[in-house]
Every structure is written in structure tokens, then in C-alpha cells.
Structure 1
């Protein structure tokens, strides 16, 4: 069968690549055309458009790039018509994907959504579009099933979280080799800095993350470079030779880290699944933050706290994200007693996520119903 998959971010590329591998296992004749990234291409997808060309973040940036966005939408529709897939699969990226889903449904293509838009966080009215335009939804967070089925009467499949497989199936690495290859101190414990994957958020996050380094000279701070950004972009943050840098090896970095400072997003959950104590950070531009504050209805911004329904990891948001607060909270997670409590909560979190096999479960359902 022919599958057309649309992902628009680095996390979607990861999940999309594992879905492609699973689809090819379940369907020997699978032909996949996709929007995504290098991982989806390496998994066997015919890459149409890279997510690097679609990463617009924040109200102002989206507004200033409307022309490019509308051109991408028009091109996507034409490409789907030319490919004539048996099913179109959407991965998160709701602003773009829900527009394509409406068109696809009107043109009688089967529509599947893998990894739901976070309508439980904001703009819940999008449920009307999902119920109208999506034939099947595969959710990865345990509370999403109740949200869709009990609150909105829309049946969905809970398949578990694909990050459990992505992390659990990694081959073991040698820490000494990793440190030597990346010019890191061979003895100091590592504090990983995960500032995000988009230029705007990295610029806002890294300056404040790096502002605490002088208070923790017994540790090696290492920046996780995003695959969507060139090394030259990070040069201004690497003036201090004591700051380490690892490009496109975030999982390797986390596997050898003692603690982490993490920008809110999927990375908070990845860090938790690696059992690394963390402080969650978020700072947006003033206008985008004011808009978000009025439409987001959640008590927390990190997936860890949302899934656990309590504050497991500390969140420093907007003005609270400063050198003083970050120093205090980082000191806490370097302490033995606080770390033990985090480890216990992380193990409970993993149980709530449903165990291994999310990509295989989703691929099986998609292939059987396409």
C-alpha cells in the first residue's frame, strides 16, 4: 500500500521514522512518501519536504511567513493528488496538518492521525475539525484517551509512547569514547543543556542556562545541538572553552548526564525516560507569551508533570527563569535526597506510558484499516 506521512518537527521526524520502519515490517509492499527529516528518509521514506523549511515558531514569525506557509499547503495538496496514497498519516504539527486533513477528507482520502495535536492544552474547539476530518486517531499519552472518548465522544486508540522504544532500543555506548570524541572532560559529571530546536527559543534559553555555569565549576556543562541548526549558529555560546558541545547526539549525551536544564517540550519527557533529574525552562517573546497564557488551560507546561498530574520536575517560566532561580533549582537536583524522589517518580511515569511497542501497534492498526 501507499502511505503519505506528514511531520513538521524534529520529534515528528523521530516518531515518523519508527512508524515507517514498523509499516515496512507489517506491509512488505509499503511505499512511503513523506514530509519530515533525515530520520524518516533513512527509514525508507521518499522525502518531499524537510521540516527545517517549515519550522516557524511564535505568533509574529508565523505571521511574517504566511506566504511560505500557504505555498507549502498548496504544494502538499498537489503532491498528495499525484501520489494517490491509500492513507494520509498526520503526525502532530496541527496548524498545517488539520488544514491538509480537511482537504484530504473532502477528496476522499483515508485520514489517520498519529500523535494527537495538544488540543487538551489549548484551542479545544479543534475537536470539531478532528471529528469531521480524521478517520482514526492513535494517541500516545494516557490521559488523551479519556479526553477524546469520555469528554468528546470520539473513539481513539491508545498505543503507548514511542519514546520508550526509541530510547530502550538504543545500542549501548562507551562513555569514555563519547567524552573523548566530543572533547569533554573525562572526570567531571555532565550537566546537559537542551535549549530546543528552533533559533528563537535557543537564543532565549541558552543565555540564561549558561549564566549559572560559574556557580557549578565541578561540573561539565554540555550543549545539545539540534539537528535543525548548524554548528556556526552556536558559536557565540561557545566562547568559553569549558562549555562542551555535542551536535545531533542528544540521546548519547543524556545517557551519560548527571542532570539537565531542558526547554519545555518533548525533551522533558525524553530526559525523564533517561532517568536524568531536570529543571524545565521556558521563555518566549512577550507577545507570544501573553497570547499563549490566555489560550493554554493547563496547570503545567512539561509532559512529565502533565502525565503525573503533579509537580515532579520544577518549571521555571518566563520571568521566573533567571540566574538566581535556576541556580537554586539546579542545586536541588544535584542533591541526593531530591534525586531519589525524582527517580521514583520517573519509574512511575514510565509505567503510565504503557510499555513498549507504540510504533508497531500504530502501524498494525493503520495497515489493517487502510
Structure 2
């Protein structure tokens, strides 16, 4: 079969790559064409556009780049029409993908949505688009199946793909990791500032403002594959280091982490690292978002899945040096650290067992018309 896949962000690249691997096991003749990243490219097929050219952060940036976004949609539609896939697989990225779903359905192409947009948080009306134009909705959070059922959409809960990605990791020697990456013998505080240059600049300035309060630790930045290594050099010195494309290894060897809100908050939790979740957008984007998001108490997946505050979220004006220092100290030196780790065990149980990629591939391959 011919598969056309669209993933617009780094997390989508990871999950789509694992899905491609699982599809190939069930369909040895699989042919892939996709919008994604380096991990998907390693699975074979043809990369049309890299996600680094697609990701625009916040309402203001989307408006400023609207011409580029609309042109990308035009290119994508023409490419799908020319390729004539048996199935279109959409991975999150709703602003783009929901438009493509409608287009593909009109051409008679089967549409599968893998990893639901967060419609339960905002833009719930988009469920109507999914009901009309998506043949199979594959969800990865347990409460999403109930959400879709309420809206008369028969969604399949396949489990969370991060459990697969993390469960397949080989043991690591942290002393060797430090040696290979020219790190010191001090305990590590990991910094995960995001994957977009605009976001990383803002978050690193805030995250690094706490360093003088924790002289017994070294701070290590997790470099995003979408950004050049040279970009991070401006932040590096004796006690601030940088590793590229080794985020999971870094997390497994650190004592705690400061993490920009997103999929990384869940990855950090599943790797058993106490964390402080950070978010600060432009004032305009934040004010618009605050008015659009419905009755959602938390921004991190950890807290949303657990339906309680497991990890502290510092959002907008609350994200400052004073609060960062206080919350980081709690997860390093107080009983809160043990409480967070206990809650992580419950979190893993809620997400179910491994096998999300295999479960999703089974539905996609066997459901061919």
C-alpha cells in the first residue's frame, strides 16, 4: 500500500517514525511519502517537507506567516493528488491536517488520524470535521475515547506511543555518558527549552536565571534536532553544557528537569525525572489562548492525565526566577520529590501497556479498502 503521512512537529516525527516501522512489519510492500523529520526519513520513503519549515508558534506568528502556511497547504494538496495514496495518516498538527483531511476525503482517500488534536481543551467544534472526514481516529490518551464517544465518533484507544519508545531503551552508564559529553561529575539539572528558536531563546534565559542558586549542580541543555548546534554555543560555559539528539539519555542521567510545556513533560515523567513545567508565550498569544481554552485546569499532559497537580506548572507571569528556584528546590530536596515519583507510577498504569505503534499499524493496514 501507499501511505502519505503528515507530522508537523518533533514529537509527531518520533511517533510517526515508530508507526512506519510497525507498518513495514505488517506490510512489507509499504511505500511512504511524508511531511516530517529525520526520524521518519530513517524509516525510508520520500520526505516532501521537513517539520522545521512548518512549525509556527503562537497566534501572532501564525498570522505573520499565513502566506507561507497557505502555500504549504496548496503544495500538500497537489502532492497528494499526484501520489494517489491508499491511506492518508495525519499526526496531530490540526490547523494544517484538518484541512488536508477534507481534501483527501473528497478524493476518495481513506483518512486516518493518529494522535488526536487537543479538542477537549479548545476548538471542540472541530469534532464535526473529524466526524465527516476522518475514517479512523486513533487516540493515545485514555480519556480521549470517552470524549469522542460523547460526540458520536468511534475512536480507538491504542495506548501511548511514548511507552514503546521509552520501553525500548537500552540501559545507560551515566558516568560514561558524562565522560563522552565532556560533562563534570556534578549532578545534572536538565533543561528542555523546546524545539523552536523563538521559544528556546525565551525559555533558556529564564531557566538559566536560577543557576547561581544551585552551585552544586551542572545545567545541561537538551538540544533540539531542528536547531543547529552553533545556536546553543552562546549559552555554554563552565557549568552550563549542551548535548544534541540525546534527550532521553540526558533525562535518565539527571536529578531534575525544567521543561517547556509540550510532549516533553510526559517524556520526562515516564523517564522518572521530577520536573517543573514552564510556559511563557507572547502576551497577545497568551491572552487569546486564555479566552479560547475551555475549563482546562492544567497545561501539562502529566497533570491532565492524572487530573491533579503532580508537577508544578509555572505559566506566563508566574514563570520567574523566584518561583523557579523555589519549585526546583522542592523537587531536589524535599518530600515533594518522593510524592512526584510515587504519582509517576500511577501515571504509567493509567496509560496502559506498550504496543501503541503496533496497535495503530494493525488498524491502518487491516482496514484497507
2:247 alignment partner, one of 247, 250, 253: 250
Quick one: distance in 1 between partners of 2:45 and 2:223?
Answer: 25
1:19 equivalenced with 2:19 (yes/no):
yes
| 1:214-253 equivalent positions in 2, closer than 5 A | 214-238=212-236, 240-253=237-250
- Matched residue, 1:274: 271
- Matched residue, 2:160: 161
- Matched residue, 1:32: 32
Quick one: distance in 2 between partners of 1:361 and 1:45?
Answer: 22
Quick check: 1:20–1:45 contact (8 Å CA) kept in 2? no
SS at 1:360's partner residue?
helix
Deviation at 1:172, TM superposition (A): 2.1
- Matched residue, 1:181: 180
Quick one: distance in 2 between partners of 1:45 and 1:29?
Answer: 11
SS at 2:325's partner residue?
helix
- Matched residue, 2:72: 72
Deviation at 1:180, TM superposition (A): 1.4
Quick one: distance in 1 between partners of 2:118 and 2:298?
Answer: 13
Quick one: distance in 1 between partners of 2:215 and 2:44?
Answer: 45
- Matched residue, 2:55: 55
- Matched residue, 1:308: 306
1:329 equivalenced with 2:327 (yes/no):
yes
Q: Deviations over 1:151-195 (max 9, x none)?
A: 211110000000001011012222122111211112x11110000
SS at 2:57's partner residue?
coil
Unaligned 5+ residue runs, structure 1? none
Deviation at 1:335, TM superposition (A): 2.0
Quick one: distance in 2 between partners of 1:254 and 1:214?
Answer: 21
Quick check: 1:160–1:356 contact (8 Å CA) kept in 2? yes
Quick one: distance in 1 between partners of 2:45 and 2:349?
Answer: 32
Quick check: 1:159–1:354 contact (8 Å CA) kept in 2? no
Q: Deviations over 1:55-106 (max 9, x none)?
A: 1111121111111111111111111111111100000000100010011111
SS at 1:111's partner residue?
strand
- Matched residue, 2:132: 132
SS at 1:257's partner residue?
coil
Quick one: distance in 2 between partners of 1:70 and 1:171?
Answer: 42
Quick check: 1:263–1:281 contact (8 Å CA) kept in 2? yes
Quick one: distance in 1 between partners of 2:126 and 2:233?
Answer: 41
Count of equivalent residues: 367
Quick one: distance in 2 between partners of 1:182 and 1:93?
Answer: 34
Quick one: distance in 2 between partners of 1:293 and 1:201?
Answer: 19
1:2 equivalenced with 2:15 (yes/no):
no
Q: Deviations over 1:17-69 (max 9, x none)?
A: 00000000011111111110000010123211100111111112111111111
Q: Deviations over 1:275-330 (max 9, x none)?
A: 00000000001000001111112100000000000000000000000000000000
1:352 equivalenced with 2:342 (yes/no):
no
- Matched residue, 1:317: 315
SS at 2:28's partner residue?
coil
1:292 equivalenced with 2:316 (yes/no):
no
Quick check: 1:191–1:257 contact (8 Å CA) kept in 2? yes
Quick one: distance in 1 between partners of 2:246 and 2:45?
Answer: 22
* TM-score (norm: length of structure 1): 0.98
1:339 equivalenced with 2:334 (yes/no):
no
Quick check: 1:87–1:111 contact (8 Å CA) kept in 2? yes
- Matched residue, 2:171: 172
Distance change in 2, residues 1:283/1:154 (3 Å): same
Unaligned 5+ residue runs, structure 2? none
* TM-score (norm: length of structure 2): 0.98
Quick check: 1:21–1:44 contact (8 Å CA) kept in 2? no
